[in-house]
Amino acid sequence: MEFITYEVTGPVGTITINRPKALNALNSQVLEELDAVLDSVDLDAVRCLILTGAGEKSFVAGADIGEMSTLSKAEGEAFGKKGNDVFLKLESFPIPVIAAVNGFALGGGCEISMSCDIRICSENAVFGQPEVGLGITPGFGGTQRLARLVGPGMAKQMIYSARNIKADEALRIGLVNAVYPIEELLPAAQKLAAAIAKNAPIAVRGCKKAINEGLEASSMAEAVAIEEKIFGDCFETEDQRYGMAFFLDKNKDKVKEPFKNK
């Protein structure tokens, strides 16, 4: 792959968008490679993913404006579909994905971070949806995911004004969970990923599914029914039996074994 690197350390996989000359902007090839790398993740071994950008300046500076500038209507739709398919794949990916936002996250960059489960960022991060200044609307889910994450009022202000916000404001409005000095960002992401990876993987996946599908449900009754089903499924797992037996066994000298993902 030319623009994506993928490294696995223990149960944590790190995907890096590596096109620093264009501030990691998303062109068709980046989107295709991202799609392929997600398909290649070994879900038996990897329990959490980190998504980041190469370098210290930019996470993703948006969709590739050069490539988009010459698109016809049909090509624009095809480009949009390619992006939306990858973003939906990330959002519904079976295991959690942490976006480690290391600089600019503009347009498609902000949108791809919002397709991840959790966002943390560096102090130099900048978020924004500048599309209306380019004569387009956000096209990779920005109007939908930003409104769900920070509320419609703040999302509308950011999108209509095309104003970028810095890391401290992103933290204040709940777009990111934490801000770190740039050199501490990846270690923090790895620490969080390791903490997630240590827990029962089938239960963690179930939580992701329950939260995502519950948010799409039309009523709380429907949402809790989704949770009930996923909760019930846990009782068919070895990990549930082991986790509860370990708690009930009051032997303080016993060391907890890794969950088996079964």
Instruction: Give residues in contact with ligand DAK (CB under 6 A).
Output: 22-23, 25, 61-66, 76, 79-80, 83, 104, 106-108, 130-131, 134, 136, 139-140
Shorter beta-carbon distance to ligand DAK: residue 147 or 188: 147
Active-site entry in 2, 33, 111, 222: 111
Q: Give least dist CB 211 to ligand DAK, A.
A: 25
The CB-based long-range contact list for 200-203 (8 Å cut-off, 24+ gap) reads 200/234, 200/237, 200/239, 200/240, 200/243, 200/259, 201/47, 201/95, 201/239, 201/259, 201/261, 202/233, 202/234, 202/237, 202/239, 202/261, 202/262, 203/234, 203/237, 203/239, 203/240
Shorter beta-carbon distance to ligand DAK: residue 23 or 171: 23
Question: Is 32 in the active site?
Answer: no
Shorter beta-carbon distance to ligand DAK: residue 28 or 240: 28
Q: Give least dist CB 97 to ligand DAK, A.
A: 19
**What value, to the nearest 5°, has the Cα angle with vertex 150 and ends 191 and 172?**
60
| Cα gap 236→230, rounded to integer Å | 11
**What value, to the nearest 5°, has the Cα angle with vertex 91 and ends 194 and 261?**
45
Report the relative pairing of strands 126-128 and 165-166 from DSSP bridges: antiparallel
Distances (CA, A) of 14 to 198, 203, 254, 256: 17, 22, 32, 26
Write out the two tokens for 148: 């769900």
Q: Which amino acid is at 192?
A: L
Q: Give least dist CB 54 to ligand DAK, A.
A: 13
Q: Give least dist CB 29 to ligand DAK, A.
A: 13
Question: Is 131 in the active site?
Answer: yes
Active-site entry in 7, 33, 75, 131: 131
Shorter beta-carbon distance to ligand DAK: residue 82 or 198: 82
Q: Give least dist CB 147 to ligand DAK, A.
A: 16
Shorter beta-carbon distance to ligand DAK: residue 83 or 96: 83
Could you list the active site residues? 111, 131
